[in-house]
Amino acid sequence: MPQIKVCASLACADLLNLERDLRAMEAAGIDYLHIDVMDGTFVPNLALGTDLLRAVGRATRIPLDVHLMIERPERYIETFHVLGAQVLTVHQEASIHLQRTLAAIRGLGMRAGVALNPATPLETLRYVLDDIDLLLIMTVNPGFAGQKLIPSTLGKIADARALFEAHHREVDIQVDGNVSFENAVRMAQAGANWLVGGTSSLFMSGLTIAEGARQLRTAAGAA
């Protein structure tokens, strides 16, 4: 059974009190800091650039899991390596020579992730299965926090887990978007093991990050 990891979505933290939130994430045992880099082209939103990442990387020991929601991500592989990314995820839809991009990420010692938008079939990854360490299944359309789960993505998670098992590959399956405590149960049941917590869980108003993390782990464990 793949290990459950709780990833905190940096875009959903309190940017004016980031240091306080980072300490709270560390105390809560957050496994990865999930950083959504948005270019205003691949997704409509602009968010989280390299300067912020540099500052955050210096301020915490939580490993950095970088999700590039940008066109032609291959241009920035070296940049994010230098900034300390341990996991670097690119979108299938954004990289024409995907195999080369994934090999370049691994070549620098990072774990290679691929993200799929809700409308993108799993089959697009058929010939790069051996090049992937992590599959990010977007459970909402990327770009904004606070959206609702797209139900068909649950079936995609289950199909992905079955595909990796058939290929005898232990690939982590990450889910991003509306990972609420209720949805986390269904996502983990379907085979997801890396959960990105945003406004639906870890950064929900009225809840501490520690309590959110505890509830997310309980939800995933209940699956």
Positions marked catalytic: 36, 176
8 Å CB contact between 41 and 66: no
Beta carbon nearer to Zn ion, 140 or 154: 140
Beta carbon nearer to ligand DX5, 104 or 153: 153
Sequence letter at residue 76:
Y
Beta carbon nearer to ligand DX5, 57 or 198: 198
Query: DSSP class of residue 156?
Result: H
8 Å CB contact between 144 and 150: no
* Contact footprint for ligand DX5 (CB under 6 A): 9, 12, 36, 140, 142-147, 176-179, 196, 198-200
Beta carbon nearer to ligand DX5, 95 or 201: 201
Determine, following the binding rule CB under 5 A, whether residue 176 of this chain makes contact with Zn ion.
yes
Binders of Zn ion among residues 65 to 84 (CB under 5 A) are 67
β strands within 148-204, DSSP E: 172-176, 194-197
Nearest-approach distance from CB 196 to Zn ion, in angstroms: 6
Nearest-approach distance from CB 196 to ligand DX5, in angstroms: 5
Choose from Zn ion, ligand DX5, none: what does 212 bind? Cβ within 5-8 Å by kind: none
Determine phi and psi for 197, rounding to 5 degrees: -95, 125
**Nearest residue by C-beta to ligand DX5?**
198
Rounded to whole angstroms, how far apart are CA atoms 214 and 30?
10
Nearest-approach distance from CB 65 to ligand DX5, in angstroms: 11
Beta carbon nearer to Zn ion, 21 or 176: 176
**Sign of the alpha-carbon dihedral angle for 17, 22, 28, 32:** positive
Using N-to-C axis directions, what is the helix angle for 18-27 and 50-59, rounded to 10°? 50
Chain Cα centroid distance, residue 62:
14
Sequence letter at residue 156:
K
Choose from ligand DX5, Zn ion, none: what does 200 bind? Cβ within 5-8 Å by kind: ligand DX5
Determine phi and psi for 53, rounding to 5 degrees: -60, -40
Q: Which of 36, 39, 65, 133 binds Zn ion (CB under 5 A)?
A: 36
Determine, following the binding rule CB under 5 A, whether residue 217 of this chain makes contact with Zn ion.
no
Nearest-approach distance from CB 140 to ligand DX5, in angstroms: 6
Nearest-approach distance from CB 37 to Zn ion, in angstroms: 9
Rounded to whole angstroms, how far apart are CA atoms 67 and 31?
15
